[in-house]
Structure 1
Amino acid sequence: MNEIRVEYMTSAEIGEAIAGGARTAILPLAAVEQHGGHLPLSVDADHADELAVRIAKDLGGALVLPTVRVGYSPHHLGFPGTLSLRASTLEAICEDYGANLAGYGFERLVLFSGHIGNHPVMRDFELRLKAKLAPLSVIVFTDSEAILDAWRRAAEDVASLGGNVGGHADIAETSVMLVLHPDKVRVERCARGYSGTVDEEFLARAFSEGIAAVSPNGVLGDPAGASESIGTACLEAVTSLIVQHARARGA
C-alpha cells in the first residue's frame, strides 16, 4: 500500500505502518486567504498538502496528518473571503492534533506551514507545544527567509526571474499552482503587485496595517513568467529545506 495520508487509511493500516517503523507524523498548516485576482484562496492549503507528502516520502517512516487548512491570516482580512484563526486557536489545534500520537506509537511530530504568515505564531508557541506534547519530540520549521531565498533561486535558475519573487501570489506560488492545479489559475488575471523590498520593516507594516495597505491587489511580487518548471523547482527546494531541518533534529 502506497497511501501515507492517515485520513485515507484505515485504523488497522495505520497501526500496521507504525508497527513497520513509521514513527514520524507530519502536520501541515496552511491558510484560506486571498491570493490576488488570479489564484484561489486554497493556494496555501494545496501547497501544504503536496509538501507534506513529499516530505514524508523523503524522510521515510512517516505518515501525514490532515492539513490544518485555515490559519492565522488577519493581515488578509481586507479582502473578501479570507478566513483567520486566532493565534491561540491555531496553537490549540496543533496541541490537539498531537495529543494522542505518542500513545499510538509515534515518536516525533514535524510541523511546517504552507503559509508563511503562520510562522510568527508557530515561533511563539513552539516551546509550549514541545512541553505539552512530551515525550513526543516536536520539530517545527519556521524559516521564512530560507523559503523566500529558495523560491528566488529556483525562479532565477530556471528562468532568470528571481526578482519576481515577493512571497505572495507571485511567480513562485503561481508556478506551484500550475503544477498542482493548473485549472485553478486565472492566467488572464495575473497582475504585478508590490515589488519593493520585503524586509522586517515592510513585514511589520504589512502585519499591522494589512496587506491591502501595502498592495491594493493583494500580490507581493509578480506572477509574470510563472511556469510548471519553476513550480517543480520550488516544490523540490522547499521540500529539501524542511527535510534537512527535520533530519538535523533527529527525524
Structure 2
Amino acid sequence: PHLALSMDASHGTALALAVARRIGRALVAPTIRVGCSEHHMAFAGTLTLRPETFLSVVEDYVDSLARHGFRRVVIVPTHGGNFAPLSDGLERLRSVAGERARVEAFVDLAAVMEVWTAVAEAEAGRGAGVGGHADVAEGSILLALHPEAVRSDRVEPGRTGPLDAEVTRRLFAEGMAAISPNGILGDPTGMNAALGRRLVEALAARVVESLSVP
C-alpha cells in the first residue's frame, strides 16, 4: 500500500544504469515496464503479460539490438515474476541472436535476496525486514529514486519469515494475496534513501560479477 506500482520498472532502470557504468562502453535499452504479474492480479491496478508474450517482447528487443550491431546484450530483470520465464527462455533468446550477439541474463533471484539481506543488515541492522516485495529493501530503493512515489504514512509489516521454496511455490500458484493480504513480503520499517542507493550499487556489483568476461 505504500509503494507505487512503478517500483520494479524504476529499480530496473536504475540497476541497468549502474551495471552499464561498471561494464563500461554500454548503452541501456528502454525498460520493459510490464511483465509476468499474474500472481499480483488480486491487487487493483496490476497489469500482466503471459510468459510467452513477455518472452516474445524480450526476443524482439534482442533481435532489434543485434540487427543494429550490438555484440553483447545483458538482460537484468527486477520483477520477481520475470526471472523464471527469462531463465527458461534464455536459450531461445540466444538462438534469436545467433552469432550476431552474445546474450546473457542475470536470473538468480536468490542472489538478489542474499545481497539485499546482507546490505540491509550491514547498513541498517534491518536484514530481517527483507522479504522480497514492498519490504525495507524495495522501500529504500524507491525512496532513493522517486521519494514522491512512496507513502510513508502507509508503511506496515507484511508476511515475515524466509521466502523458502514452499512459500515461493504458493506465491506463484495461489497468488500474493494468499500468503500476504496486504501484498508485502517482509517489513518496510526503517527504509531510507541512503540504504536504497547502497542496495542498487551492491546488486549491480553482483550482476557484473556473474557476467562472462567481455
Q: What is the match of residue 250 of structure 1? A: 213
Asked if 1:237 corresponds to 2:212, the answer is no
Measured after TM superposition, the shift of residue 50 of structure 1 is 0.7
8 A contact 1:150–1:238 mirrored in 2: yes
Structure 2 unmatched ranges of 5 or more: none
Q: What is the match of residue 177 of structure 2? A: 212
Measured after TM superposition, the shift of residue 239 of structure 1 is 0.6
Asked if 1:151 corresponds to 2:116, the answer is yes
Measured after TM superposition, the shift of residue 74 of structure 1 is 0.4
Measured after TM superposition, the shift of residue 229 of structure 1 is 1.9
8 A contact 2:62–2:93 mirrored in 1: no
Q: What is the match of residue 7 of structure 1? A: none
The one-character-per-residue Cα deviations of 1:5-32 (angstroms, maximum 9, x if unpaired) are xxxxxxxxxxxxxxxxxxxxxxxxxxxx
Asked which structure has the greater RCO (Cα within 8 Å, sep 6+), the reply is 2
Structure-to-structure mapping, 1:30-179, within 5 angstroms: 37-135=1-99, 136-179=101-144
8 A contact 2:135–2:187 mirrored in 1: yes
**Radius of gyration: which is bigger?**
1
8 A contact 1:165–1:171 mirrored in 2: yes
Q: Give identity over the alignment, percent.
A: 43
TM-score (norm 1): 0.83
Distance between the aligned counterparts of 1:84 and 1:100, measured in 2? 23
Structure 1 unmatched ranges of 5 or more: 1-36
Measured after TM superposition, the shift of residue 223 of structure 1 is 0.2
Measured after TM superposition, the shift of residue 97 of structure 1 is 0.7
- What's the RMSD between the two structures over aligned residues? 0.9
Secondary structure in structure 1 of the residue aligned to 2:76: strand
Secondary structure in structure 2 of the residue aligned to 1:202: helix
Distance between the aligned counterparts of 2:172 and 2:196, measured in 1? 27
The one-character-per-residue Cα deviations of 1:185-206 (angstroms, maximum 9, x if unpaired) are 1000001000022101110011
Distance between the aligned counterparts of 1:155 and 1:55, measured in 2? 20
Aligned-partner residue type, residue 250 of structure 1: V
8 A contact 1:158–1:229 mirrored in 2: no
Distance between the aligned counterparts of 2:52 and 2:23, measured in 1? 30
The one-character-per-residue Cα deviations of 1:120-162 (angstroms, maximum 9, x if unpaired) are 1111101111112111110011111111011011110111110
The one-character-per-residue Cα deviations of 1:93-134 (angstroms, maximum 9, x if unpaired) are 011111132332211100011112210111110111111211
Aligned-partner residue type, residue 198 of structure 2: A
Between 124-133 and 73-82, the greater mean CA deviation after superposition: 124-133
